[in-house]
A = this chain, B = another copy of it.
């Protein structure tokens, strides 16, 4: 078998999502489920139709309970150790869709402790990134009345007392097996998964409710929540429901996952010129060596990063199909597809950057107050 590694601390090789479904023991999001969602939400988000969110745990149970009139809440987060990129944006724009369609509360955790414990960065550096990242999350336009930021170090007063209840039920053996840890791991990193588990049930404790928690996440985060689901159940709370997203590929090709380092992705703070340069220069092309050959044989959608990225940013199915069709036939050149993508992304970024400008004035509105 090929070398594939998917956990929160390591994604390597070409990711085979069918294999992940069977290895992780998760379920694919099928037609039947899509129809249920459409019936409730009035529409199906393109990321669902396009299998970007491709798998889940217990989503049926959540929908059953929603149809009986029970609300649920959303939980997602951000590890603040670098700039926000389009990979984050895509997940969060789906989260925003869920919040808007279902009119529900969103708990947003900034795992500054995790990043401090895992990265070779100072506490102050992480705090700076926390502020920067908060601006981007605010710029996403989440409903401020229904969105609550939890910063692990700032909200430790409410998170830690619950985290020890979680931690008491997790042995080092379990952590070792799930994350591939060794005796050289620092004791904070070993404890950390307990902190990440708490928002799965904290809102219910604070509000004296028993709602389902829905966590849309990149599939690499699943090992955290596999442990969480087990423990949260043992503590007498509802197991969190998960929706798993595929990785947005790096610009360099369809292997691994998008990250903030180097020229592998587009940052939310990149200007129009930078976006144009990055995509034209670094986005792996599925086109042929020469224009003549391309016109004759057509391009390869599957490995062309611009084509793949358009799945995230061209919401119109008809238009997307047309682009794919023309590119396959050689009617569209790689540079032309890239130009379409650049325009789409720059529009998104320009609006995001406008909203981001004075976002720090809104910190107080979003930070959870107990």
Contacts and interface: CB of A to CB of B under 8 A. Distances in A.
How many protomers of this protein does the assembly include? 2
Contact of A176 (B159, B168, B181, B183): B183
Interface stretch (A188-196, A251-259, A354-362): A188-196
Contacts of A169: 186
A171 to B, nearest CB: 5
A44 interface: no
A248 to B, nearest CB: 30
Given A172-B184, A172-B187, A184-B172, A160 B164 contact: no
B164 A188 contact: yes
Interface in A147-174: 153-157, 159-161, 163-165, 167-173
A211 interface: no
A185 interface: yes
A220 interface: no
A123 B165 contact: yes
Interface string A93-129: 0000000000000000000010011000001000000
Contact of A186 (B161, B171, B189): B171
Interface residues of A, number: 37
Contacts of A163: 188
Contacts of A176: 183
A154 B158 CA distance: 9
Contacts of A190: 172, 187, 190-191
Nearest to A166: B188
A11 interface: no
Contacts of A185: 171-172
A116 B153 contact: no
30 contacts: A113-B161, A116-B164, A116-B165, A116-B168, A117-B167, A117-B168, A123-B165, A153-B160, A155-B157, A156-B160, A160-B160, A167-B186, A167-B187, A167-B188, A169-B186, A170-B186, A170-B187, A171-B183, A171-B187, A172-B172, A172-B182, A172-B186, A172-B187, A173-B184, A176-B183, A187-B190, A187-B191, A187-B193, A187-B194, A190-B190
